[in-house]
Amino acid sequence: MDRIGGCKNQWKHGVVYTNTTNKPIMISVFTNADSTLTIDVRKNSTAPWVIVGADSARGAVPNNLIIPSNYQYRVNSYFGY
């Protein structure tokens, strides 16, 4: 899977993003019919990743998450079960 995302903005699989807005942000993530994903968050580059959201193709439930200011986040997708 090359990209994960919505209409306007798209996240690339495994790329680390940082919320630099100085405010919390909300992200919404869905899977497609062929993948499973996890959404990971951490406070900084030395902190461990914490899985805060997950979805499978069978559920197709949106993950709506609040990312605190200056936290890092990433979306990882996996094909198959």
Task: Report the Cα–Cα distance between both ends of the chain, in Å, rounded.
Answer: 15
Identify which has the larger pLDDT, 69 or 81: 69
Please indicate, yes or no, whether the overall pTM of this predicted structure exceeds 0.75.
no
39 Cβ neighbours under 8 A, 6+ residues apart: 27, 29, 51, 52, 53, 54, 63, 65, 73, 74, 75, 76
Task: Identify the pLDDT of residue 65.
Answer: 87
Task: Kindly report, residue by residue over 23-64, the tens digit of the pLDDT.
Answer: 999 888 776 666 677 889 999 999 999 988 776 666 566 778
Mean pLDDT of the chain: 76
Task: Identify the pLDDT of residue 1.
Answer: 31
